[in-house]
Structure 1
Amino acid sequence: MPLLQVRDCPEDIYKKIASVARSENRSIAQQVIVLLEKGLGQEQSNMERRRRLLEKIESRKIGRELKEIDAVAMVREDRDR
């Protein structure tokens, strides 16, 4: 994940970010990401992100040979060794 470093941040802004982060049970880094997302219009609700992720997972094609694998039999075989 890329690293973002901000130098010479005004103290009053830092204190506001830290205060809001504490009230939202977030770290300062997490709070800055939330603020950047909002400022850039990139915010999505958790439900929306989850919905999109589930759609992406469901759209994946699973090969026929993978669907035919019997996981229970494989575990049983492994335990019998």
Structure 2
Amino acid sequence: MPALQVRDLPPQVYEDLKTCAEEEHRSIAQQALVAIEDYLARRKREKEVQAVVDAGIPPVPKPWEPGYRDWQRSQAAAQARLERRREVFARIDALPISKDPEGFPSVAELIREDRDSR
């Protein structure tokens, strides 16, 4: 397993780390590892959120943030639209397949005729 040694750690950082370790019943090494893991996980989440923002997708607000109720309503409306689409497509799928009448021109012939008429 790789090891990490930190030189010239500021005394105040060491004291804060030591205090946290005591409060959470960990060794200083364990607390340092937890702090590093937390930082890296938070950084990864921030990058993922930034990717979503860059893609133009609005972030999901927290329940205590302003705009959460509007977001809930918009999500409910989106779900209702999705359900209506599913119903429409189900009705379309249930329709009988229609066949072109005998002698009806093909799609290619219709396009060619339209292009020639210009």
What TM-score, normalized by structure 2, do the two folds share?
Answer: 0.35
Superposed, 1:2-17 pairs within 5 Å as 2-17=2-17
Distance 1:34 1:7 in 2: 19
SS of the residue 1:25 aligns to: coil
Aligned residues: 42
Q: Which amino acid aligns with 1:33?
A: L
Distance 1:29 1:3 in 2: 11
Structure 1 runs of 4+ with >3 Å offset: none
What TM-score, normalized by structure 1, do the two folds share?
Answer: 0.50
Distance 1:24 1:39 in 2: 17
**Larger Rg, first or second structure (1 or 2):** 2
SS of the residue 1:2 aligns to: coil
Distance 1:40 1:20 in 2: 18
Distance 1:3 1:37 in 2: 15
Distance 1:38 1:6 in 2: 18
Higher RCO, 1 or 2 (CA under 8 Å, sep at least 6)? 1
Unaligned runs of 5+ in 1: 43-81
Q: Post-superposition shift, 1:16?
A: 0.2
The aligned residue for residue 23 of structure 2 is 23
Q: Post-superposition shift, 1:30?
A: 0.2
Distance 1:27 1:33 in 2: 10
Q: Which amino acid aligns with 2:32?
A: V
Superposed, 1:1-81 pairs within 5 Å as 1-41=1-41
